[in-house]
Structure 1
Amino acid sequence: MFPSKDAPLKIGAFCSIAGQVRFMCSGQHPTDSATSFPIYSRLLKQPEPVANGGKPAGITVGNDVWIGNGAMILPGVEIGDGAVVGAGAVVTKNVPPYAVVGGSPARLIRYRFSEDVILQLLAIQWWRWDDEKIKREAAALTGPIETFIERHSVAGTATK
């Protein structure tokens, strides 16, 4: 892990992160310049300018994300709420909410739920509930998704 002020690692609530997961918040080398040596960071002690081949720095992991053993997350990646990253995946691009990705490089395998259910879950934002409500709703949170959505649907949430 290489988080820093210029390349932060932000992890949401209720995430499950397995062992040997690597967050590469910075450290990308330019490959389209005369040199791949990180002159700015090593010699000038400043971030590589994006215009000069630097990559966006930092990583953001949403809420209720599961990252499998040995996955590697590269700089500039955002992983959406409810996503699943398979074991050993190399994540080079953003992952949409409730997507399941895997492989090297990571590719979309499927979505956990239909678009309607995803929209409802993103509106409900159960991860913002206080601990007492989560305890009271444990059975609903771990039961059939249809029952959870019926119980907690948010009025005005667009569905298709």
Structure 2
Amino acid sequence: MLNLPNPNDIYTNEWHTTVFLKNVIKAPNIHIGDFTYYDDSINDPKDFEQNQVLFNYPSFGDHLIIGKFCQIAQGTTFIMGPANHRLNSVTTYPFNVMGGEWTNATAPHLSELPHKGDTIIGNDVWIGKNAVIMPGSKIGDGAIVAAYSVVSGKIDSYTVVGGNPAQKIKNRFDEELKNLLLQYKWWNLPIRRITEILPQLCSANLDEVRKFIKRELLNQTA
């Protein structure tokens, strides 16, 4: 029997610095795929939801969706929609939450906030140390977010971005290989098959990888 990592484990190493996130999440509006991990050598990574997902009030209606096999470095923070303030009036001050007559005289706080939509992270995304992901951001499959970046908006699949605000630095691959990867979606394969093709997934010979994926796609349609 193959000795494979168990996606239902919490800690993924003996030092307890890394966790498979889906197994430590309790909020109903956070959805995380298999083998996506968070690494933190300072705080217990098991406390990701409490420490790294900020202003999360599920009743507001937005979701944090992270795909499979993502790699999330220490200090990465996801800001949820309720972090915003009212923008359609002359003041942004949240009088409603301060109590007393201020609460009585104003509309419920959450109902006044702008909705940016769900924050969606694709599969096999690497997010560097202390990056900040703002509400409603969309990061495509295979993207890389440099350390200390602030992401707001849409990041295309298989691009490298960095800075504040995060800007495109380069494409990881040419269009053909990118499209092959998006079609192949290796992260959805059975874990045993992923294990078998690790030499290809981890190879630096991209021409051979390209040929391999083309064969795989042909076999899938045969």
Q: Give yes or no for TM over 0.5.
A: yes
Asked if the contact 1:3–1:9 (Cα under 8 Å) also holds between the matched residues in 2, the reply is no
> How far 1:38 moved relative to its partner?
4.5
Of 39-48 and 23-32, more deviation after overlay is shown by 39-48
More deviation in 129-138 or 32-41?
32-41
3-state DSSP class of the match of 1:121? Answer: helix
Kept after mapping to 1: 8 A contact 2:159/2:168: yes
Q: Counterpart in 2 of 1:145?
A: 206
- Over 3 Å counting, the alpha-carbon distance change for 1:47 and 1:13 in structure 2 is farther
What is the identity, as a one-letter code, of the residue corresponding to 2:80?
C
Residue 14 of structure 1 aligns to a residue whose secondary structure is coil
Higher relative contact order (CA closer than 8 Å, sequence separation 6+):
1
Larger Rg: 2
**Counterpart check, 1:101 vs 2:161:** yes
| Residues 38 and 68 of structure 1: CA distance in aligned 2, closer, same or farther (over 3 Å) | same
- Determine if contact 1:38/1:48 at 8 Å carries over to the other structure: no
Post-superposition CA distance 1:26-76 (Å, at most 9, x none): 112244531213468885154436xxxx14133110000000000000011
Q: What TM-score comes out, normalization by structure 2 length?
A: 0.62
From 188, 196, 212, the counterpart of 1:136: 196
* Alignment CA distance shift 1:98-1:39 (3 Å): farther
Matched with 1:44 is 108
Relative to structure 2, which stretch is displaced further, 79-88 or 39-48? 39-48
How do 1:7-46 and structure 2 match up within 5 A? Answer: 7-26=62-81, 27-31=83-87, 33-38=89-94, 44-46=108-110
The answer (yes or no) to whether the contact 1:40–1:46 under 8 Å persists in 2 is no
- Equivalent residue letter for 1:29: H
Measured at CA, do residues 61 and 33 of structure 1 come closer, stay the same or move farther in structure 2, by a change above 3 Å? same
Residue equivalent to 2:24: none
In the other structure, the counterpart of 1:158 is: none
Answer whether contact 1:40 1:48 (CA < 8 A) is retained.
Answer: no
- 1:121 alignment partner, one of 173, 181, 199: 181
User: Which ranges in structure 2 are unaligned for 5 or more consecutive residues?
Assistant: 1-52, 99-106
> C-alpha root-mean-square deviation of aligned residues, in Å?
2.1
Q: How many residue pairs get matched?
A: 151
Gaps of 5+ in 1: 156-160
Using the aligned pairs only, state the percent identity.
34
CA contact (8 A) 1:98 1:118 kept: yes
Map of 1:84 onto structure 2: 144
Compute the TM-score of the two structures, normalised by the length of structure 1: 0.85
